[in-house]
């Protein structure tokens, strides 16, 4: 466990440095870091502090958020297919963000944008849990997710098409696929406080989720308050997914791939998986964000494209494995 955590932390740190070093402006890693830390007043300092640092910080925060949310939902529903992107929570959050941007509500006060996305994510989570039930059978869970994703996606497109802004309609892809291009420190300050709140809530679930592996009755007899557990899960997921989506669009599959890859290393204990998935998610999103910059540096290749290319085959594999339950 400690060896796993040390490995993941080292990987994340290495990827963080790589993320800071890669960009269209050519500079060596040591030049970049000097400009970042000591600020010599050159354009490189501006680039490092205002463009690359916020991008790398957001990748870490968003990756940790999505990994944590995926691990928590899978632990609660005891279903490896539960993931914020697949079950429509991310697309609900995107709808909330788009509505608040296009109506001008986002401009009314600083936190309006992430809070709108959070509220919409909350509606999404509650809808999924109501439709799928707390046992989280695969069939109802996936069907509910498809329905909510489709509905939220359609309303997002509608809102962007109705916008008086001629560019807005082209941005459906951003909201559905997600990207970290051209984000600034402003986005970090908007998203991180709400994400941090969500991290605290989700991290507190460990003991409850461990107990829940023995079944609901056993967990209740061990003194776990299931109502409170559920409330923290719903609120925590909404906070992290809402804040992440508000600044970077809906990035799917992180919460599916990361817990799946790490589960064998933590002995199936949900509490350990929470921590491992948070760090692993950060590494995953950093790596994917580096990949979009290396594959097509000229174009704004969406982060969600890379994540879906990694995640969708795994999703198919998981469905194949659970097909007995589905049949």
Partner 1 sequence: MNVCTDQLAMLLADEGQLLSVSSLAYDKRTSAMVEEAQGYIPNTGRAEEVFLLKPDLVIAGTYTARAAVTMLERLNIKVVTIAPASSLKEVRARILDVGAALGQTERAEALAAEFDAGLAALQPDPNARKPRAALYGANGYTVGSQTLSGEMLTAAGFINIATEMGLTHGGTLPLELLALAAPEVVITSQPYPGASRSEAVPRHPVVARMQAQAVSSKMNDGDWLCGTPFVLRAIKNLARHRERLDK
Binding site for partner 1 (CB under 8 A): 23-25, 43-44, 46-47, 50-52, 101-102, 104, 106, 163-168, 170-171, 174, 182, 184-186, 298
Q: Which is nearer to partner 1, 64 or 113 (CB)?
A: 113
| Minimum CB–partner distance for residue 250 and partner 1 (Å) | 14
Q: Which is nearer to partner 1, 109 or 167 (CB)?
A: 167
Place of tokens 């944590």: 68
Using a CB cutoff of 8 Å and minimum separation of 24, what contacts does 309-312 make? 310/253, 310/257, 311/252, 311/253, 311/254, 311/256, 311/257, 312/253
Is 326 in contact with 141 (CB distance < 8 Å)? no
Q: Which is nearer to partner 1, 164 or 264 (CB)?
A: 164
Distance CA 263, CA 273 (A): 6
Close Cβ partners of 108 (under 8 Å, ≥ 6 residues apart): none
Q: Which is nearer to partner 1, 217 or 298 (CB)?
A: 298
Distance CA 30, CA 21 (A): 9
| Minimum CB–partner distance for residue 113 and partner 1 (Å) | 10
Backbone phi and psi for residue 40, each to the nearest 5 degrees, phi listed first: -90, 10
| Minimum CB–partner distance for residue 91 and partner 1 (Å) | 17
| Minimum CB–partner distance for residue 107 and partner 1 (Å) | 8
Q: Which is nearer to partner 1, 166 or 264 (CB)?
A: 166
| Minimum CB–partner distance for residue 24 and partner 1 (Å) | 4
Close Cβ partners of 239 (under 8 Å, ≥ 6 residues apart): 118, 194, 195, 197, 198, 201
């Amino acid at each position: 466990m400690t060896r796993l955590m040390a490995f993941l932390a080292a990987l994340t740190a290495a990827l963080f440095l790589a993320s800071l070093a890669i960009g269209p402006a050519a500079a060596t890693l040591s030049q970049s870091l000097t400009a970042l830390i000591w600020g010599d007043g050159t354009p490189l300092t501006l680039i490092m502090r205002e463009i690359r640092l916020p991008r790398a910080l957001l990748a870490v925060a968003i990756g940790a958020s999505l990994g944590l949310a995926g691990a928590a939902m899978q632990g609660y529903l005891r279903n490896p297919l539960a993931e914020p992107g697949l079950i429509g929570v991310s697309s609900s959050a995107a709808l909330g963000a788009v509505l608040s941007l296009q109506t001008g509500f986002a401009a009314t006060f600083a936190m309006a944008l992430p809070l709108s996305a959070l509220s919409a994510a909350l509606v999404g989570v509650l809808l999924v849990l109501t439709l799928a039930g707390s046992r989280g059978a695969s069939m109802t869970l996936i069907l509910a997710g498809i329905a909510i994703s489709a509905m939220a996606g359609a309303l997002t497109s509608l809102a962007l098409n109705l916008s008086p802004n001629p560019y807005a309609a082209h941005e459906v892809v951003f909201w559905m696929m997600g990207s970290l291009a051209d984000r600034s420190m402003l986005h970090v300050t908007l998203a991180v406080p709400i994400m941090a709140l969500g991290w605290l809530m989700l991290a507190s679930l460990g003991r409850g989720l461990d107990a829940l592996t023995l079944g609901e009755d056993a967990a209740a007899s061990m003194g776990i308050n299931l109502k409170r557990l559920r409330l923290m899960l719903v609120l925590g997921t909404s906070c992290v997914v809402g804040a992440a989506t508000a600044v970077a669009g809906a990035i799917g599959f992180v919460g599916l791939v990361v817990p799946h890859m790490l589960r064998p290393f933590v002995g199936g204990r949900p509490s350990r998986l929470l921590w491992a998935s948070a760090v692993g998610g950060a590494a995953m999103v950093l790596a994917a964000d580096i990949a979009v910059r290396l594959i097509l540096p000229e174009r704004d290749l969406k982060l969600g494209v890379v994540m879906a290319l990694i995640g969708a085959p795994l999703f198919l594999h998981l469905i194949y494995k659970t097909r007995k339950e589905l049949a």
